[in-house]
């Protein structure tokens, strides 16, 4: 059998809070929209090319020419933050999408068929749970090299079991519902019922839970870039920028490091707020 | 006895998971296409000495299963092979760096536990009121501060600006090391506090609503005594469960903090070894982290019935 | 409803508040941190005041942990600057880059194919055992052993045999006349270690487990991997003139530049070699010590690592050279401290050359001026317009960023497409030893220093087929000149040939010379006594240091 069902602790953490506040959720969504749009439209939004070095303006203070000043190579900070959104947001997005798809498929199979498939998959998940996602990402980098590709694939595999477990529980519960039996009686095949009827019912719940992972993944991938193992300098990426800016801190040049750091925190908070609200609204009881 | 059977079952599960995990760690190398010697000696001069070393260490001329058996036999004897970057036994390399990471994780764990428990308890006792909301807000914000952000902010404010703490290195001697690790352990702890805080709060809220608490209170026992005697003990279970997840997470997250603060611990060794393509070291550290996680979880699993009697009665008993 | 909305507002507000606080906390100090450069006012320092007495201990900061203290593999700044104080070679390279007797009290060159070394009497290793010729033979033969894979093998490339020809005498026979072999005996290639220790430590010799057992003024007492190395004065040291003036010394490993600078500023370390140039002004202003500039044997160069690419055409190389804004690079990379160079060596390694040779080498050459228009024409002539180049760099220092951006700008200004590929410092190091790492790479930056007091060392490396001839450049006249020079034992005659080689290299540009600069170091106010020099890699500089 699979390992014990979610303990009280885990259920509590995932229990939808009965908080509903429209204003702040909208503010968070606005923040996210602004950041995302800026990243997508970077070539038009950013005032400068993020890689242009300006020998005459190292560590310039914020001014009308450079709203956030420049970094150690005279590159415009605001432009780098805008462009940085591309890699900083794309990675987590891919991880969430892949892990959700993979997790739903595996959870569907495990929950629907039960039996030995469920047992085997459960054991596989147990092993994967033992590997913190950052660790798997680093292992992938050690094997396949730096950049975003290896970590994204590795983290998708790492987060899939969480999605799979949830899906499995939901599917197992749904399987016993009357409407499923009704379909069977009418002669519809198991796979069809699972994919065309059960899946759409549970997908929103799973999806909402998945969006909460976006924030964690963003922080982890940015951390990986901060370590120099993910996105590589001189590419503008929030984590990589903070890595490059570290040496300036002792010289009193905080802005090149603090500005991207603030953006990271803001985006993570906003994502968490939106994600939690989404989970609340979609509702759904998470079975014991 | 059913206890014995349960424990034996848990241990069996632990061993199975460890075995499967070790397979994953060892055979991951085979995911890389091409010549294994070229992979292992990437970035290094493929001198005859190096090739011979690596071939002997990994048994590259043996079939895969035998290679694995040799490796795992070595591991069980404490032999993790030789580090390519240090030209030294991996065990020696790890041993030098373990103390710093251990102290860092212990200090961070203490901060997480204390702040989380206290915060969660106060919030639970004042549920619905201002202090509860204030604590929840703080927890949410803290949970959004990744350790690399926390590190540079702490360095900027407390090291560079105020000069209260050193910004690098781990000092020498026990107390000096503890002093050097104050900022790093805070940076490491920040993002995990929300975990313990929320679980504590919820567990205690649930406990406080229970009948036996109402009964006790109606009998005139002070709230504090009730909290101490009944609530805390019953809330301990879920808290410990969450703490299990923390261990592995802390060690891995320490990579980031150790890099930011220039600490020479296991975390920065991992990062450096990935960077310098020192695969034997990477394998050893991954295996150790996973083992720590599985073992701690198993211990907590085994001890759970004594901590939280309800779960002994069955899964999900409410 | 209202409550929950407020609480969420507060959550975001809280985050912003923390952000704002850190910003305002910071902006207070941001004023006045303009990198007021030292300008072009700097001078070379070759000596410091004599110490007033002994001190108990002092510390120096290293920017990286030594990869090894095994002389056969010690090939980098951190390794060698530590090793120089603990282990000694047959000959000693002095701060002025002259060679004098070391563990060999004398040497002779009876015929062009033979070198005879008389080993000094009364020298003991740190464990008390006496030094004999057998130890010398064992140490030297080890470098020649292919299974050891020594980084210094090339010094011994022409050696036929090494034999003990007396209780304190070693004879080396070479296959062809090789003037460079003896020059290399002042560096890591000539280190003598106890044969017994080599046998006993085996694979762990020179790492933090095995340590070393040498003859130098300090002995290695502790190596805390990742943290520090501790040295203690060896009271049985043979050279009374270089007896260590400090009872102990520590090397602190501080990879983070900021942390290192802070350590110096706060006085918690007493000095460091190769301080980041950007930090020189603040270190000088800190009042905790002096920033000194030592003569260097290093030049900053762009290595052309692919002669089958667009840079295989000499015209394209010349064009790139003429398009580079070298004064701008100098300013951006080292605050303007240093000089543009059109050759790959500095005057420091021409000590034994004739004045005529020096004039040929440094004056009778092409001095490349920046001329983008002419450069662009050359590129068009060569039919290379629009061709692509790959430039590899690493986040090692500010100079790396500056040079990479400047090279890209230069390439683009003459119609070439240059892509910058950033790798990690470890992968960058691999460029120098692993041919596969250089695949597809056209250019990379290096600061190349020489380990022997002979400029020929630089040009020997650029001969056809040499290990460090990274681009595979081949020029028959150059090879002929250099080989002849190698076989010329008389320094004066040799220098004339070396000068000719330098002229050819200046014309053909196998590598593009950018600039030379001094070696910056920081000397804390507690200490004095050392002779600042590039020789810090091989000369026991720490033994000179005492109380200021």
Q: What is the DSSP string of A249-261?
A: HTTT--HHHHHHH
pLDDT for position A1:
36
For chain C, how far is it from start to end, CA to CA, in angstroms? 72
Counting the structural domains of chain A, the total is: 1
User: Which residue of chain A has the CA closest to C395?
Assistant: A233
CB B290 within 8 A of CB B21: yes
Report the range of poorest mean pLDDT among A25-34, C20-29, C209-218. C20-29
| A5 located within any domain | no
Q: Is the pLDDT of residue C315 over 70?
A: yes
Task: Answer yes or no: do B111 and B134 share one domain.
Answer: yes
Q: Is A185 on the interface with B (CB under 8 A)?
A: no
Read off the tokens for C141: 């033969």
User: What ipTM score was computed for the predicted complex, to two decimals?
Assistant: 0.84
The confidence band for C1, taking pLDDT boundaries of 50, 70 and 90, is very low
Q: What is the dihedral of CA B59, B64, B66, B72, to 10 degrees?
A: 80
Average of per-residue pLDDT across C324-338: 89
B120 pLDDT band, cuts 50/70/90, is: confident
CA distance C259 to B196: 33
Read off the pLDDT of each residue in B139-150 and give the average, rounded to a whole number. Answer: 88
Cα–Cα distance between C10 and C547 in angstroms, integer?
Answer: 58
Cβ neighbours of C437 in B, within 8 Å: 43
The verdict on B231 and B166 lying in the same domain is yes
DSSP-based three-state secondary structure for B264: coil
Using pLDDT thresholds of 50, 70 and 90, give the confidence band for residue B303.
confident
Chain C hits for B42, CB-CB cut-off 8 Å, are 430, 434
Six-digit token pair at A211?
């969006």
Neighbours of chain B (3+ CB pairs under 8 A): A, C
**CA dihedral over C22, C25, C29, C30, signed as positive or negative:** positive
A20-24, C149-153, C247-251, C392-396: range with highest mean pLDDT:
C247-251
Nearest chain C residue (CA) to A56 = C332
Question: For residue B20, with 0-12 CB atoms within 10 Å meaning exposed, 13-18 middle and 19 or more buried, which class applies?
Answer: middle
Other C-beta atoms closer than 10 Å to the C-beta of A182 total: 12
Confidence (pLDDT) at A184: 82
Among the residue ranges B111-120, B296-305, C324-333, C478-487, the one predicted with the least confidence is B296-305
What counts of helices (H) and strands (E) characterise chain B? 15, 2
What's the whole-number average pLDDT of chain C?
88
Reported pTM: 0.81
Mean pLDDT for chain B?
82
Instruction: Assign residue B6 a region (left: φ > 0; alpha: ψ between -120 and 50; beta: otherwise).
Output: alpha
Extract the tokens encoding C56. Answer: 């108990």
Q: How far apart are CA C26 and CA C254, in angstroms?
A: 25
Rounded Cα distance, A9 and B198, in Å:
9
CA of C134: how far to CAs of A283, C131, C365, in Å?
A: 83, 8, 48
> Which residue, among B259, B271, C422, has the nearest Cα to A231 in the 3D structure?
C422
Query: Domain for residue B140, yes or no?
Result: yes
The predicted pLDDT at position B43 comes to: 62
- Select the residue of A12, A222, A269 nearest B203 (Cβ to Cβ): A12
- Say yes or no: B267 and B126 in one domain: yes
Helix axes B232-260, B182-208, angle to 10 degrees: 160
Domain contains B85:
no
Q: Where are the beta strands (DSSP E) in C81-174?
A: 91-93, 99-101, 104-111, 114-119, 159-166, 169-174
CB atoms within 10 A of CB C355: 9
pLDDT category of residue A91 using cuts at 50, 70 and 90: very high
Q: Provide the mean pLDDT of chain A.
A: 83
Q: Which one has a higher pLDDT value, C15 or C534?
A: C534
- Choose one of B76, B104, B136: the last residue of a domain: B76
Does the structure show a pLDDT above 70 at A285?
no
Do B16 and B122 fall into the same domain?
Answer: no
Q: Rounded mean pLDDT of A66-89?
A: 87
Q: Which residue of chain C has the CA closest to B274?
A: C426
CB pairs under 8 A between A and C: 102
Pick from A202, A5, A15, A192: nearest CA to A103: A202
Count of beta carbons in the 10 Å neighbourhood of residue A144: 15
Distance of CA B182 to the CA centre of its chain: 18
* Rounded (to 5) percent helix, strand, coil in chain B: 80, 0, 20
Distance from CA of C313 to the nearest CA of A (A): 29
Inter-chain CB proximity C29 and B161 less than 8 Å: yes
Cite the beta strand spans of C443-510 per DSSP E: 443-448
> What's the pLDDT score for residue A154?
94
Distance (Å, whole) CA B234 – CA C231: 56
B141 and B64 in a single domain? The answer is no
pLDDT surpassing 70 at residue B280: yes
The range of the structural domain enclosing residue A196 comes to: 17-283
The answer to whether A84 and A237 are in contact (CB under 8 A) is: yes
Stated as kind and residue range, the H or E segment containing C546 is: strand C546-547
Structurally, chain B folds into a number of domains equal to: 2
Statement: residue A284 has pLDDT above 60: no
3-state secondary structure of B33: coil
Separation of CA B261 from chain center: 19
Residue B249 falls inside a structural domain: yes
Residues B50 and B161 in one domain: no
Query: Residue B143: which of C11, A202, A21 has the closest Cα?
Result: C11
Residues C78-110 pLDDT 10s: 999 999 999 999 999 999 999 999 999 999 999
Tell whether the model's pLDDT for residue C338 goes beyond 60.
yes
Kindly identify which residue of chain A lies nearest to residue B31, measuring between CA atoms.
A143
> What's the mean pLDDT in A245-267?
85
Can you tell me the distance from the alpha carbon of C115 to that of C544, in angstroms, rounded to the nearest whole number?
31
Q: Is pLDDT above 50 for A19?
A: no
pLDDT greater at residue C30 or residue A263: A263
Asked if B120 and B165 sit in the same domain, the reply is yes
pLDDT above 50 for A138: yes
A128: CB partners within 8 A, 6+ apart: A157, A158, A160, A161
Look at the block and give the residue holding tokens 């094997």.
Answer: A143
C525: distance to nearest CA of chain A, Å?
22
A3 assigned to some structural domain: no
Cβ neighbours of residue A277 closer than 8 Å, sequence gap 6 or more: A20, A25
A269-273, B139-143, B177-181, C123-127: which is most confident: C123-127
**pLDDT above 60 for C20:** no
For residues B44-70, average pLDDT = 80
Using CA atoms, how far apart are residues C240 and C236, in angstroms rounded to an integer?
10
Backbone angles phi, psi at C313, to 5 degrees: -85, 125
pLDDT of C23: 37
| Reported confidence tier of residue B171, pLDDT bands at 50, 70, 90 | confident
DSSP string, A5-23: PPPHHHHHHHSPP----HH
**Residue C470, class by beta-carbon neighbours within 10 Å (0-12 exposed, 13-18 middle, 19+ buried)?**
buried
Task: Provide the percentage of residues in chain A whose pLDDT is more than 90.
Answer: 27
What is the distance between the alpha carbons of residues B21 and C437, in angstroms, rounded to a whole number? 32
CB distance A228–C424 less than 8 Å? yes
Q: Give the residue, C20 or A245, on which the prediction is more confident.
A: A245
Using the 8-state DSSP alphabet, how is residue A76 labeled? B
Is A6 domain-assigned?
no
Mean pLDDT of B217-230: 66
B15 vs C117: CA distance, rounded Å: 63
Residue B307 lies in a domain: yes
Report chain C residues whose CB lies below 8 A from the CB of B156.
Answer: 22, 25-26
For an interface test with B, give the residue of A14, A18, A142, A256 to mutate (most B CBs within 10 A).
A142
In contact, B191 and B150? CB cutoff 8 Å: yes
CA-nearest of A76, A75, A87 to A35 is A87
Tell me: do B65 and B133 sit in the same domain: no
Residues A271, A274, A277, A283, CA torsion sign: negative
Query: Residue A159 maps to which CATH number?
Result: 1.10.3720.10
**Residue A4: inside a domain:** no
Task: Tell whether B66 and B134 lie within a shared domain.
Answer: no
The enclosing domain of B215 has a CATH number of 1.10.3720.10
Residue C540's pLDDT is 96
Q: Are C539 and C95 in contact (CB under 8 A)?
A: yes
Q: Which domain holds residue B21?
A: 2-76
**Chain C residues touching residue B48 (CB < 8 angstroms):** 146-147, 149
Token reading at B315: 């899964």
The pLDDT of A35-39, averaged and rounded, is 91
With 0-12 / 13-18 / 19 or more C-beta atoms within 10 angstroms meaning exposed / middle / buried, residue C231 is buried
Q: Cβ–Cβ contacts within 10 Å for residue B309, how many?
A: 12
Does some domain include residue B82? no
Instruction: Answer with the residue of higher pLDDT: B114 or C515.
Output: C515
Using an 8 Å CB-CB cutoff, list chain A residues near C261.
250
Summarised one tens digit per residue, pLDDT across range C411-432 is 999 999 999 888 877 778 778 8
Residues B67 and B185 occupy one common structural domain: no
Pick from C439, C436, C73, C434: nearest CA to B45 = C434
pLDDT tens, C480-510? 999 999 999 999 999 999 999 999 999 999 9
Which pLDDT score, from 0 to 100, does residue B221 have? 62
User: Cα–chain-centroid distance for residue C144?
Assistant: 23
Sign of CA dihedral A232, A234, A238, A242: positive
**Distance, CA of C442 to CA of C416 (rounded, Å):** 12
Q: With an 8 Å Cβ cutoff, is A254 touching chain C?
A: yes
Closest chain B C-alpha to A192 CA, distance in angstroms: 32
Task: Tell me: do B126 and B56 sit in the same domain.
Answer: no
H/E stretch holding B292: helix B279-307
Q: What is the distance between the alpha carbons of residues C282 and A253, in angstroms, rounded to a whole number?
A: 14
Nearest residue of B to residue A219 by CA position? B146
Query: Is A2 domain-assigned?
Result: no
User: What's the rounded mean pLDDT across residues B294-307?
Assistant: 78
C17 in contact with A, Cβ within 8 Å: no
Instruction: Say how far apart CA A81 and CA A257 lie, in whole Å.
Output: 11
Q: In b/e form, how buried is each residue of C405-435, taking b as 16+ CB within 10 angstroms? A: bbbbbbbebbbbebebebbbbbbbbbbbbbe
Domain end, chosen from B47, B76, B105, is at B76
pLDDT at C168 over 50: yes
**Burial class of residue C105, CB neighbours in 10 A (0-12, 13-18, 19+):** middle
Residue C272's pLDDT is what? 96
Would you call A178 exposed, middle or buried from its count of C-beta atoms within 10 A (0-12, 13-18, 19+)? exposed
For residue C263, the model assigns a pLDDT of: 86
Please give the helix or strand (H or E) that residue C223 lies within, else none.
strand C218-224
Same domain, B140 and B267: yes
Of the three residues B48, B76, B104, the one that is the final residue of a domain is B76
């Amino acid at each position: 059998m699979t390992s014990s069902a979610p303990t009280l602790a885990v259920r509590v953490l995932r229990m939808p809070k009965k908080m509903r506040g429209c204003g702040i959720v909208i503010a968070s969504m606005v923040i996210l929209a602004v950041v995302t749009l800026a990243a997508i439209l970077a070539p038009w939004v950013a005032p400068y090319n993020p890689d242009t070095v300006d020998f005459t303006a190292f560590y310039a203070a914020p001014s009308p020419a450079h709203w956030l000043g420049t970094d150690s190579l005279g590159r415009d900070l605001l432009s780098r933050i805008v462009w940085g959104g591309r890699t900083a947001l794309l990675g987590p997005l891919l991880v969430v999408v892949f892990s959700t798809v993979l997790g739903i498929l595996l959870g569907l199979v495990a929950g629907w068929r039960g039996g030995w498939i469920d047992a085997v998959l459960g054991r596989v998940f147990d092993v994967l749970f033992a590997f913190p996602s950052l660790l798997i990402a680093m292992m992938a980098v050690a094997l396949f090299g730096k950049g975003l590709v290896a970590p994204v694939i590795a983290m998708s595999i790492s987060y899939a079991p969480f999605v799979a477990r949830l899906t499995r529980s939901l599917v197992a519960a749904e399987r016993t519902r009357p409407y499923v039996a009704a379909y069977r009686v009418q002669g519809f095949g198991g796979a069809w019922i699972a994919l065309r009827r059960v899946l759409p019912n549970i997908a929103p719940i799973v999806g909402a839970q998945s969006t909460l992972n976006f924030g964690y993944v963003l922080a982890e991938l940015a951390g990986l870039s901060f370590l120099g193992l993910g996105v590589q300098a001189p590419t503008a990426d929030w984590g990589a920028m903070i890595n490059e800016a570290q040496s300036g801190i002792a010289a009193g040049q905080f802005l090149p490091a603090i500005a991207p750091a603030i953006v990271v925190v803001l985006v993570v908070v906003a994502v968490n707020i939106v994600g939690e609200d989404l989970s609340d609204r979609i509702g759904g009881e998470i079975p014991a | 006895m059913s206890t014995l059977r349960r424990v034996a079952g848990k241990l069996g599960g632990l061993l199975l998971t460890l075995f499967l995990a070790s397979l994953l760690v060892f055979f991951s190398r085979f995911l890389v296409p091409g010549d294994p010697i070229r992979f292992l000696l990437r970035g290094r001069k493929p001198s005859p000495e190096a090739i011979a070393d690596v071939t002997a260490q990994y048994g590259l001329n043996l079939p895969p299963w035998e290679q694995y058996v040799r490796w795992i036999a070595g591991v069980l004897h404490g032999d993790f092979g030789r580090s390519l970057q240090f030209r030294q036994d991996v065990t020696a390399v790890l041993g030098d760096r373990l103390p710093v990471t251990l102290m860092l994780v212990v200090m961070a764990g203490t901060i997480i536990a204390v702040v989380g428990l206290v915060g969660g308890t106060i919030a639970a006792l004042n549920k619905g009121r201002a202090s509860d909301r204030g604590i929840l807000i703080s927890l949410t914000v803290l949970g959004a501060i990744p350790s690399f952000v926390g590190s540079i902010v702490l360095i900027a404010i407390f090291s560079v600006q105020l000069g209260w703490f050193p910004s690098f290195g781990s000092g020498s001697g026990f107390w000096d090391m503890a002093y050097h690790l104050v900022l790093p352990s805070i940076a490491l702890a920040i993002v995990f506090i929300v975990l313990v805080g929320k679980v504590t709060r919820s567990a205690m809220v649930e406990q406080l609503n229970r009948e036996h608490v109402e009964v006790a209170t109606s009998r005139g026992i002070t709230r504090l005594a009730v909290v101490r005697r009944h609530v805390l003990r019953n809330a301990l279970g879920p808290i410990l469960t969450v703490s299990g997840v923390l261990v592995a997470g802390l060690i891995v997250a320490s990579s980031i903090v150790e890099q930011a603060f220039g600490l020479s611990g296991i975390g920065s060794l991992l990062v450096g070894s990935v960077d310098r393509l020192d695969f034997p070291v990477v394998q050893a550290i991954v295996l150790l982290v996973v083992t720590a996680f599985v073992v701690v979880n198993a211990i907590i699993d085994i001890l759970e019935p004594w901590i939280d009697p309800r779960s002994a009665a069955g899964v999900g008993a409410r | 409803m209202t409550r929950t909305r407020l609480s969420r507002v507060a959550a975001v507000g809280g985050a912003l508040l923390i952000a704002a606080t850190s910003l305002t906390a910071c902006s207070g100090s941001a004023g006045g941190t303009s990198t007021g450069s030292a300008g072009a006012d700097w001078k070379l320092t070759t000596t410091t005041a004599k110490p007033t007495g002994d001190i108990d201990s002092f510390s120096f900061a290293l920017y990286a942990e030594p990869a090894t203290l095994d002389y056969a593999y010690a090939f980098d700044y951190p390794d060698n600057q530590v090793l120089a104080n603990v282990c000694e070679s047959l000959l000693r390279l002095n701060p002025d880059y002259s060679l004098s007797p070391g563990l060999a009290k004398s040497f002779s060159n009876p015929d062009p194919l033979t070198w005879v070394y008389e080993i000094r009497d009364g020298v003991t290793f740190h464990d008390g055992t006496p030094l004999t010729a057998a130890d010398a033979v064992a140490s030297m033969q080890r470098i020649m052993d292919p299974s050891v894979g020594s980084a210094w093998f090339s010094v011994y490339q022409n050696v036929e045999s090494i034999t003990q020809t007396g209780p304190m005498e070693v004879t080396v026979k070479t296959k062809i006349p090789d003037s460079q072999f003896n020059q290399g005996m002042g560096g890591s290639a000539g280190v003598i270690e106890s044969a017994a220790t080599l046998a006993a430590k085996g694979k762990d010799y020179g790492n933090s487990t095995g340590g070393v057992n040498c003859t130098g003024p300090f002995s290695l007492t502790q190596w805390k991997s990742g943290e520090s190395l501790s040295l203690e004065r060896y009271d049985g040291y043979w050279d009374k003139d270089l007896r260590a003036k400090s009872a102990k010394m520590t090397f602190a490993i501080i990879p983070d530049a900021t942390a290192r600078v802070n350590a110096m500023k706060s006085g918690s370390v007493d000095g460091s070699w190769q301080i980041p140039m950007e930090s020189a002004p603040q270190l000088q202003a800190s009042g905790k010590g002096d920033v000194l500039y030592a003569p260097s044997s290093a030049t900053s160069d762009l290595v052309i690592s692919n002669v089958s690419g667009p840079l295989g055409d000499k015209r394209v190389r010349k064009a790139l050279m003429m398009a580079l804004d070298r004064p701008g690079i100098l300013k951006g990379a080292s605050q303007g401290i240093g000089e543009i160079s059109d050759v790959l060596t500095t005057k420091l390694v021409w000590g034994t050359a004739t004045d005529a040779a020096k004039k040929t080498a440094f004056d009778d050459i092409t001095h490349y001026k920046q001329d983008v228009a002419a450069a662009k024409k050359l590129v068009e002539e060569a039919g290379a317009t629009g061709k692509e180049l790959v430039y590899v760099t690493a986040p090692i220092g500010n100079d790396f960023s500056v040079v990479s951006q400047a090279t890209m700008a230069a390439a683009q200004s003459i119609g070439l497409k240059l892509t910058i590929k950033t790798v990690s410092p470890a992968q960058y190091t691999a460029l120098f030893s692993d041919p596969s790492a250089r695949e597809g790479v056209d250019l990379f930056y290096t600061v190349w220093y020489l380990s022997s007091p002979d400029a020929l060392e630089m040009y020997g490396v650029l001969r056809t087929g040499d290990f460090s001839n990274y681009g595979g450049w081949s020029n028959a006249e150059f090879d002929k000149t250099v080989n002849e020079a190698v076989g010329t034992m008389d320094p004066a005659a040799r220098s004339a040939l070396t000068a000719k080689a330098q002229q050819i290299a200046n014309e053909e540009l196998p590598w593009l010379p950018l600039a030379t600069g001094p070696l910056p170091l920081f000397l804390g106010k507690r200490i004095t006594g050392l002779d600042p020099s590039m020789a810090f890699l091989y000369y026991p500089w720490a033994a000179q240091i005492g109380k200021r």
